């Protein structure tokens, strides 16, 4: 018997049908798990529908095959003939369904890819955002640190410059274009005699003595942007003047327009005074040397002239004209010799007798001699002598001459106004260990331009014939000889109220007796001071 047995195909068909159902359902189960795990994933949705359609097809086909096998096994093949069209039709329907679902894979993938791309973009954007946020956070943290660091630096710098501004011994001020003072340091206010309250309304017109200087100051600033060593005179609140050296810089706004200035002003008053005193001292020293030389040269012929004139007087009668002429020669020669003697005193070449003296006593003696004459000129003398005044070493006669000279000058200063007050007094400055004698009048005072010349020999403001111009020169020479200092102040500041009073005050400062030897060694140091 040839042919092929169909039993293997029957067995494989039945077993395969069951295996188909099992595997297709297992596949559908995992597809279902996928969709549950990621419900938004289009691709899993597609695979689930695909598996479901395939399972349905497998069930339909396998069921058909199994039923067929069982019917044939039970010899009921005719029943299968009735069922077969339905089973086949159903298989065909599901086969088409599976095919139809399969075709939609592409659309599912497209949707999936589109969503994935958007998700990836979103994820990427999110990552970038997170990165940017982290960078921003780090930057912010660093920024805070930077700001703190810069603030600390700024604070330190501000403190440093504030300290410089506040503690500078020179005047530092800021001005605006309207010539108002915006800010000024304490030294500046002190220099000008203003209080911190005054500073709020201070302007440069109040500070600068000359208005022209303000205009020059601003002109130079706007032209060059800075000013170096600009000399000017500042007026203090009380009206007194100080000399300053200004260095300033212009301040500009963002558009380069000048909006103000910052300036440092150094008080040169003391330096200027010292320079003037030095010049005066040098001048006096040279004049003194010249005067001494001239005096020596003239003194000898004057002595001879005087000697001969006195001898010749013996040869003539007292009533004769020649005798009278010789008397005139003798008198004028003596006057000339006095001038020569004064010159020698000025140049400190005249001899002197030093001893321990009391200035109160000497001043009282001088007042006693001159008071009557002063009273006649309606001058009231006020004598204020200090008790327990230390004694000084000096020539009593010469010091009397000093006081007489000063009182004469005071009297002369008050003559025009028909009288006044003359204050004489002594005091002791324990700090400087100096005995001070004051001679103050209420006269017309000494003009500023004359102050520097009053100690010059032959300088006088008196009419011709009324003074030789040697009084203060001699006074200066004598005080210098005593290792002292003479100070002139005109007008005079009231030590109590600080107000300026009309008149002139001469202060003679002499070392006390105990210190004289020491001072003598520094004799060259004493110079006249004018205030």
Partner 1 sequence: MTGRLPIILVPLLLGVLLGCPDHAWALQSHGPPEGLYVHQMAHIHFVLALGYLLWDIRRSSFTSMGWRYLQVFCLLMIVWNVLAFTGHAMGVVLEPHHISTVQGYFQSRLLGPLTTTKIIFYITKLDHLVAVPALFFLFIGMRSLYRTVIEHAGEEKK
Residues of this chain that interact with partner 1 (CB under 8 A) are: 1-10, 12-13, 15-17, 19-20, 23-24, 26-31, 33-34, 37-38, 44, 47, 51, 54, 58, 72-73, 75, 85, 88-89, 91-92, 95-96, 98-100, 102-103, 105-106, 109, 113
Minimum distance between the CB of residue 40 and partner 1, rounded to whole angstroms? Answer: 13
CB of 44 or CB of 173, closer to partner 1: 44
Q: How far is the CB of 48 from partner 1 (least distance, A)?
A: 9
Helix H segments across 416-463?
448-451
**Judging by beta carbons within 10 Å of its beta carbon (0-12, 13-18, 19+), is residue 484 exposed, middle or buried?**
buried
Minimum distance from residue 5 beta carbon to partner 1 (Å): 5
Alpha carbons within 13 angstroms on the beta-carbon side of residue 425 total 11
Quote the least distance from Cβ 67 to partner 1, whole Å.
Answer: 14
Q: Which residue in this structure is represented by tokens 């009182």? A: 407
Which DSSP string do the residues of 459-488 spell out, in sequence order? ---SPTTT--S-HHHHHHHHHHHTT-EEEE
227 DSSP β-pair partners: 248
Supply the minimum distance, in Å, between the C-beta of residue 17 and partner 1: 7
Shortest distance (Å) from residue 19 CB to partner 1: 4
As measured in angstroms, the least distance from the Cβ of 82 to partner 1 is: 14
> Minimum Å distance from CB 141 to partner 1?
29
Strands 379-384 and 420-429 turn out to be parallel
Which of 87, 240 has the CB closer to partner 1?
87
Question: Are 456 and 520 spatial neighbours (Cβ–Cβ below 8 Å)?
Answer: no
Extract the tokens encoding 381.
């003398």
User: Considering beta carbons, is residue 58 or 360 the nearer one to partner 1?
Assistant: 58
Is the CB of residue 125 less than 8 Å from the CB of residue 87? Answer: no
Specify the DSSP class assigned to residue 513: G
CB-nearer residue toward partner 1: 2 or 195? 2
Q: Which is nearer to partner 1, 3 or 430 (CB)?
A: 3
Instruction: Compute the half-sphere exposure of residue 346: CA atoms within 13 Å on the CB side of its CA.
Output: 30
Say which residues have a Cβ less than 8 Å from residue 302's Cβ, sequence separation at least 6. 333, 336, 337, 340
Q: How far is the CB of 6 from partner 1 (least distance, A)?
A: 4
Question: How far is it, in rounded angstroms, from Cα 15 to Cα 7?
Answer: 12
Residue 431 phi/psi, 5-degree rounding, is -65, -50
**Nearer to partner 1 among residue 28 and residue 362 (C-beta):** 28
For 218, other C-beta atoms within 10 Å of its C-beta total 19
Which is closer to partner 1, CB of 59 or CB of 531?
A: 59
* Token pair recorded at residue 7: 């039993």
Q: Are 478 and 401 in contact (CB under 8 A)?
A: yes
Which residue's CB is nearer to partner 1, number 12 or number 271?
Answer: 12
Which CB atom, from 68 or from 412, has the smaller least distance to partner 1?
68
DSSP one-letter code for 453:
T
What burial class does residue 221 get, using C-beta atoms within 10 Å of its C-beta: 0-12 exposed, 13-18 middle, 19+ buried? Answer: buried
């Amino acid at each position: 018997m040839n042919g092929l047995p169909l039993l293997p195909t029957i067995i494989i068909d039945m077993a395969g049908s069951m295996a188909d159902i099992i595997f297709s359902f297992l596949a559908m189960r995992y597809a279902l798990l996928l969709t549950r795990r990621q419900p938004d994933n289009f691709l899993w949705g597609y695979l689930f529908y695909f598996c479901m359609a395939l399972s349905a097809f497998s069930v339909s086909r396998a069921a058909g095959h199994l039923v067929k096998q069982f019917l044939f096994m039970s010899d009921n093949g005719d029943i299968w003939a009735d069922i077969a069209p339905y089973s086949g039709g159903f298989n065909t329907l599901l086969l088409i369904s599976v095919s139809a679902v399969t075709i939609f894979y592409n659309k599912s993938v497209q949707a999936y890819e589109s969503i994935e791309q958007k998700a990836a973009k979103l994820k990427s954007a999110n990552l970038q955002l997170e990165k940017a946020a982290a960078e921003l956070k780090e930057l912010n943290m660093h920024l805070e640190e930077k700001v703190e660091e810069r603030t600390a630096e700024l604070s330190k710098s501000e403190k440093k410059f504030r300290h410089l501004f506040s503690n500078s011994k020179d005047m530092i001020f800021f001005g605006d274009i309207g010539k108002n003072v915006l800010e000024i340091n304490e030294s500046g206010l002190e220099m000008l005699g203003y209080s911190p309250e005054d500073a709020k309304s201070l302007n440069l017109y109040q500070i600068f003595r000359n208005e022209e200087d303000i205009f020059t100051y601003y002109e130079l600033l706007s032209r060059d942007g800075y000013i170096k060593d600009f000399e000017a005179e500042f007026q203090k609140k009380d009206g007194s003047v100080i000399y300053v050296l200004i260095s300033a810089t212009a301040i500009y706004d963002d558009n380069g327009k000048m909006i103000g200035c910052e300036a440092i002003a150094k008080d040169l008053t003391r330096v200027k005074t010292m320079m003037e005193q030095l010049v005066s001292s040098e001048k006096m020293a040279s004049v003194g040397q010249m005067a001494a030389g001239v005096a020596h040269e003239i003194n000898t012929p004057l002595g001879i002239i005087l000697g001969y004139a006195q001898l010749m007087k013996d040869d003539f009668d007292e009533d004769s004209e020649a005798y009278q002429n010789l008397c005139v020669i003798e008198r004028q020669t003596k006057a000339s010799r006095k001038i020569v003697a004064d010159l020698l005193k000025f140049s400190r070449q005249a001899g002197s007798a030093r001893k321990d003296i009391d200035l109160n006593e000497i001043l009282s003696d001088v007042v006693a001699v001159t008071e009557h004459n002063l009273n006649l000129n309606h001058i009231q003398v006020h004598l204020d002598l200090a008790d327990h005044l230390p004694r000084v070493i000096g020539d009593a006669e010469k010091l009397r001459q000093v006081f007489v000279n000063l009182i004469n000058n005071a009297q002369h200063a008050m003559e025009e106004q028909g009288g006044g007050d003359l204050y004489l007094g002594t005091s002791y400055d324990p700090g400087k260990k100096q005995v001070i004698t004051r001679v103050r009048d209420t006269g017309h005072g000494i003009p500023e331009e004359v102050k520097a010349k009053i100690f010059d020999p032959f300088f006088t403001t008196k009419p011709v014939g009324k003074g030789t111009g040697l009084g203060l020169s001699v006074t200066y020479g004598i005080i210098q000889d005593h290792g002292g200092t003479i100070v002139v102040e005109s007008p005079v500041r009231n030590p109590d109220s600080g107000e300026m009073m009309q008149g002139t005050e001469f202060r003679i400062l002499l070392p006390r007796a105990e210190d004289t030897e020491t001072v003598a060694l520094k004799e060259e140091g004493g110079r006249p001071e004018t205030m």
